[in-house]
């Protein structure tokens, strides 16, 4: 069976760090999965993500994408096959929304009509009317709208893999919840593998078909949300689950008026 992504004993270290950013990691991701990667700052989750599109090179081990060892591939061509969305969005401010989305199709030398059709399709899918938003500039958009355009740009060349590095981290909670719901709906409508980095346990468990919990460069548990909640692998994972339950208990106090409690 060909896996979408496979890590074989992958290690990455940065100079001056007390431990490896990623330490002999092994895992597989199947086509169509939505995998969330959860952990505190410095646990290795972003490093793991950036090795998949070769923004970082591993010091040891092998990364395989759809049966190909990525170390043998041209990194620029590899990146054009993988969608990448980050918290800072990274839209080009001097380019219109349409031109931002068209960037990879233009590099791939798509015909103009095909590119225009793809821009309109993606803006519509993102809930942004093409006739209203295509010719706007990023500064004319809200944070949530910019994030949608960033997602549309990452999907432009129809990649099989989407890497999302805390894409909703800088967005207000109401917009964030709405974008989470829209992202889930979007994923269900396509057979793509999503890897989504977050430090928010509720977001990780809401979005992920499987959740990878990391700490100090290691994968502590990689399983369904239900299995992690019911059977945490160790004390660190249990503390994460307990923290989510504590939040839930806090809000439960306000579910009913005081006189009914």
Grouped pLDDT means (10 residues each) for the chain, 261 residues? 93 91 97 95 93 97 97 94 84 94 92 95 90 96 89 90 89 84 88 93 94 96 96 93 81 64 49
Q: How many domains does the chain have?
A: 1
Domain that holds residue 149: 82-158
Please check whether residue 125 lies inside any domain of the structure: yes
- Alpha-carbon radius of gyration of the chain: 20
- Any domain includes 132: yes
Question: Does residue 183 lie within any of the structural domains?
Answer: no
What pLDDT score does 256 carry?
Answer: 63
Residue 47 exposed, middle or buried by CB count within 10 Å (0-12, 13-18, 19+): buried
The 60-65 sheet, strands edge to edge: 22-29, 5-12, 60-65, 68-69
Position 148 in a domain? yes
Question: Which pLDDT does position 198 carry in this prediction?
Answer: 94
């Amino acid at each position: 069976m060909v896996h979408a992504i496979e890590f074989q004993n992958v290690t990455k270290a940065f100079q001056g760090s007390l431990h490896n950013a990623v330490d002999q990691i092994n895992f597989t991701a199947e086509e169509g999965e939505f995998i969330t990667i959860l952990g505190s700052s410095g646990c290795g989750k972003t490093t793991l993500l950036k090795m998949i599109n070769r923004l970082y090179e591993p010091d040891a081990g092998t990364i395989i994408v759809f049966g190909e060892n990525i170390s043998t591939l041209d990194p620029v061509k590899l990146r054009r096959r993988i969608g990448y969305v980050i918290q800072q969005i990274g839209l080009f401010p001097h380019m219109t929304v349409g031109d931002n989305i068209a960037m990879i199709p233009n590099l791939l030398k798509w015909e103009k009509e095909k590119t225009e059709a793809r821009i309109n399709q993606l803006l519509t899918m993102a809930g942004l009317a093409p006739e209203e938003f295509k010719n706007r500039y990023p500064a004319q958009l809200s944070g949530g709208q910019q994030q949608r355009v960033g997602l549309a740009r990452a999907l432009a060349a129809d990649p099989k893999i989407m890497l999302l590095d805390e894409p909703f981290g800088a967005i207000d909670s109401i917009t964030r919840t709405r974008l989470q719901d829209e992202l889930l709906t979007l994923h269900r409508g396509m057979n793509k593998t999503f890897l989504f980095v977050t430090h928010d346990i509720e977001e990780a468990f809401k979005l992920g078909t499987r959740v990878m919990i990391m700490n100090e460069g290691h994968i502590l548990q990689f399983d369904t949300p239900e299995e992690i909640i019911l059977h945490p692998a160790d004390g660190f994972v249990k503390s994460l689950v307990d923290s989510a339950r504590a939040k839930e208990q806090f809000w439960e106090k306000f579910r009913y008026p005081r006189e009914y409690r």
